[in-house]
Amino acid sequence: MSWTKSELFTRSRSLSVIIPTYNESQNITKMLDIVSSCLPPETNAEIIVIDDNSPDGTGEITEEYARKSRDSGGCEIKLITRKDQRGLSSAILAGIRASIGESVVVMDSDFSHPPETIAKMIEELKRSDCDIVVASRYVEGGSITGWPFKRKLISKGATKIAQRSLGIKIKDPMSGFFAFRRHIIRNIKFDAIGYKILLEILVKAKEARVKEIPYNFTDRKSGESKLDRSVISDYIKSVWKLYRYGKSIIERRTSVHFLSKAGRFYTVGASGLLVNYIVSFLFGAVLSNLWYIYATMIGILFSMTSNFILNKIWTFEDRDTSLKRTLLQYGSFLAFSGVGAMFQLGMVYVLVGTEHMSYALALFVSVAVASIGNFILNKRWTFKEKIWS
* Exposure string for 281-305, b = 16+ CB within 10 A, e = fewer: ebbbeeeeebeeeebbebbbebbbe
Residue 110 contacts Mn ion per CB under 5 A: yes
Q: What value does the CA radius of gyration of the chain take, rounded to a whole number of Å?
A: 33
Q: Considering the rule CB under 6 A, would residue 227 count as an interface residue with ligand GDD?
A: yes
Binding residue for ligand GDD, selected from 174, 201, 213, 377, defined by CB under 6 A:
174
Return the number of the residue (222 or 260) whose C-beta is nearest ligand GDD.
Answer: 222
User: Site mask, Mn ion, residues 182-221, x = CB under 5 A?
Assistant: --------------------------------------x-
* Position 99 contacts ligand GDD (CB under 6 A): no
d(CA 72, CA 82) in angstroms, rounded, equals: 27
Find the shortest distance in angstroms from Cβ 375 to Mn ion: 57
Of the candidates 176, 194, 272, 284, which one interacts with ligand GDD according to CB under 6 A?
176
- State the residue number with the nearest CB to ligand GDD: 176
For the segment 112-131, give every residue that binds Mn ion (CB under 5 A). 112
Q: Which of 62, 77, 101, 110 binds ligand GDD (CB under 6 A)?
A: 110
The Cα 60–Cα 118 span in angstroms is 26
Q: To 10 degrees, what angle do helices 197-204 and 88-98 make?
A: 60
Q: Which residues contact 106 (CB under 8 A, 6 or more apart)?
A: 18, 92, 95, 96, 176, 177, 178, 179, 197, 198
Is the torsion defined by CA of 350, 353, 359, 361 positive or negative?
A: negative
Q: With binding defined as CB under 6 A, does residue 112 bind ligand GDD?
A: yes
Q: Give bridge partners of residue 16 from the DSSP assignment.
A: 46, 104
- 91 near ligand GDD, judged by CB under 6 A: yes
User: Do 344 and 367 meet the contact criterion of CB atoms below 8 Å apart?
Assistant: yes
Total site size for Mn ion, rule CB under 5 A:
3
Residue count of the chain: 389
Region 219-248 residues binding Mn ion, contact defined as CB under 5 A: 220
Interface residue list for ligand GDD (CB under 6 A): 20-22, 24, 50-52, 86-88, 91, 108-110, 112, 155, 174-176, 195, 220, 225-227
